[in-house]
Chains A and B, each alone.
Chain A
Amino acid sequence: MASERPNRLYRNLTAKIAAIPMILTAVCVFLGGTAWTVVYSFTNSKLLPRAKFVGLDQYERLWGTHRWVVSIENLMIYGICSLVLSLVIGFVLAALMDQKIRFENTFRTIILYPFALSFIVTGLVWQWLLNPDLGLQSVVRSAGWVSFNFDPLYNADIVIFGVLIAGIWQGSGLIMVLMLAGLRGIDESIWKAARVDGIPLWKTYVFIVIPMLRPVFITTLVLITSGIVRLYDLIVAQTSGGPGIASEVPAKYVYDYMFQGQNLGQGFAASTMMLLAVLIVIIPWAYLEFGGKKRG
């Protein structure tokens, strides 16, 4: 054993050196950067970071700020709708695609291509489509339905749904592909058995297939959630947070206060809250996935 030790150490030395970029990134940027931000969220840093601690002041102000509360509400509405719609649309489309259809590749190409586009492009296209004077609304109106009203980007009550339409357009193809991969992984014998037992197709899906796809659902859930929390580019391109503050989101609050409002402390506090939100989703999931494995 003793002779093996230096050998192992030596052997791993190259690997360790090769892994230095990874170690630096993990420790300095991901751990260090996060810790730094959390620590400085307890200071009253303005334009420049200052280690003058003020306890929970920044958090008190954060939760007392209308815009932050609106941002959180928007994120909840957008998040829940986007989650439900993505999962439903993704699953239904995947189920349809899984029916041994012709032109599967063509349909998949069409449904997935928006995912290759950036949120900036997505936002700008939908800003144009939803333009009340020249876009969808005016087309329907000029077709004869004069009272037709669909101007989400200029209506504070429904603006977040205007963003949602664009978000779903961009992202649902991905969910469909993941779901389809999941469906393809289900053993043929399951379908056969269900058919032999005379179980209707929809029951097979709801009671047999979906429970079997639990891991895929959880994966997509985590994926969609952590994507939602970061929602930023789309808002910037499509609405700039307007009308008023009706489509503000936390990520934009962070950027605006950190760099524009010259109040770093607020920005740090807000980003720490975002981190917390992600951790709330990630930790139980990681525990379930990896904790479960170990026990198994």
Chain B
Amino acid sequence: MNTFKLFLAGASVLALSTSVNATDLEVTHWWTSGGEAAAVAEFAKAFDATGHKWVDGAIAGGGGTARPIVVSRIIGGDPMGAFQFNHGRQAEELIEAGLLRDMTDVAEREGWKDIVNPPSLLDACTIDGRIYCAPVNIHSWQWVWLSHAAFEKAGVAVPTSWDEFAAAGKALRDAGIQPLALGGQPWQSSGLFNVLMATLAGPDVLTKIYGEKDADLAAGPEMAKVFQAASDARSMAEGSNVQDWNQATNLVITGKAGGQIMGDWAQGEFAVAGQTAGTDYTCLPGLGMREIISTGGDAFYFPVIDNAEITAAQDVLAATLLKPETQVAFNLKKGSLPIRGDIDLSAANDCMKEGLGILAKGNTMPDVNMLNTEDTNNQLNDLFVQFFQDASITPEAAQERFVEIVRNKD
């Protein structure tokens, strides 16, 4: 095994230094919306510049569609060169089964330990002291995006917090505007709920419930308030009738909806539509309730492939993804925060700067994906997509089922 590793390292150094061999590397991801596609093109450009070739394996339909394809291809013995996951527990078992490459060598050579900020990002890639993934960005969920045009039409001032937004719901509805845009995909519903939980009840509650399976807390009065807020959100979201998150964002962009609770990736859509933060739309981190962002995000993993050329190309890709220029170009398009604090983001818009400020202050919390397995997330998806689409489920009944999931989670 050691000689094998040595051989791999040797091969990769060789490839790095000469880079004569152009290798096709298939990269799988689920970035298919306008802003996302523009961002991933930056990665492709940077990787192609190294002399290799980025073969795009985009899978439409979001993580829910893409993850199964990635996993079954790896299990099926036909792995791609690299793939994107949300780092956290999604790749846990693949790593344990030895199907993903240990990238520690690259990480050490590139000094990831010193540049990745916050360090918790790299921790999420680390199992038993070895690094298995390359984090590329920080995404936080706790944002609400508000359309100035919509509030103007309704004759209400643009809210500065979730409470104000909720209070404006009726005025928006009366003006013929959809108060809250929410897509039909299950993850959007559970995401919305988790945001409400993190901002209304606080990050500690979320961490305790998901991280320590605190079922009593989940059944308690604090969470009852969150469920009540979720029920308000539900009535505001009634009639959205869209499926994809970017369709929902589009409702906000076009002023058909008042706002949307969605992660910072929504920003890419506003950028593609040529809108400016502060004049066309407003973003409220932490829903204006609590200055907090989660530090989830995307990371690239590299399956074990018995081919020295591909291995070398994987190393090059991993290194390229974290280079300062790549980080700037990619994150500006994607609307996410870079994983290193030492780069110049003066080109960032106001929303991103707010995010960077919160990050600098250290007001961060772990992402749900780091605390929950996909199995638990899937159960939460099922619960909340039903809750948000079916007004006959009372908040109390939903809370009971929530407690049940927390109690049995692994």
Contact = CB atoms under 8 A, between A and B. Distances in A.
Interface in A150-188: 154, 156
Interface stretch (A11-19, A30-38, A98-106, A240-248): A240-248
A122 to B, nearest CB: 18
Given A132-B241, A243-B389, A246-B390, A262 B373 contact: yes
Interface in B62-116: 64-65, 67-69, 71-72, 75, 90, 92-94, 97
A259 B241 contact: no
A137 to B, nearest CB: 12
Interface string B383-410: 1011111100000000001000000100
A263 B378 contact: yes
A244 B389 contact: yes
Contacts of B56: none
Contacts of B241: 132-133, 154
Q: Helix, strand, loop or mixed for chain A's interface? A: loop
A257 interface: yes
> How big is chain A's contact interface, by range?
20 to 34
8 contacts: A46-B375, A243-B389, A244-B387, A259-B72, A260-B67, A260-B68, A261-B374, A262-B378
Contacts of A260: 64-65, 67-68, 374, 378
A256 interface: yes
B386 A245 contact: yes
B378 A257 contact: yes
A66 B382 contact: yes
A108 interface: no
A48 B375 contact: no
Nearest to B66: A260
Contacts of B401: 66
Give chain B's interface secondary structure class: helix
A66 B386 contact: yes
B388 A47 contact: no
Interface of A: 46-48, 61, 65-67, 70, 132-133, 154, 156, 240, 242-246, 255-263, 266
Contacts of A48: 75, 93, 97
Contact of A240 (B71, B97, B243, B382): B243
B382 A259 contact: no
B184 interface: yes
Interface residues of B, number: 34
Contacts of B71: 47, 259, 262
B265 to A, nearest CB: 20
A175 to B, nearest CB: 32
B374 A244 contact: no
A46 B67 contact: no
- Most chain B CB within a 10 A radius of its CB, from A48, A65, A244: A244
B407 to A, nearest CB: 12
A67 B380 CA distance: 11
A244 B373 contact: no
Interface string B105-136: 00000000000000000000000000000000
A243 B64 contact: no
Contacts of A156: 389-390
A46 B93 contact: yes
Q: Which 8 A-B residue pairings sit nearest by Cβ, starting from the closest?
A: A244-B389, A259-B68, A261-B378, A47-B93, A243-B389, A262-B374, A244-B386, A263-B375
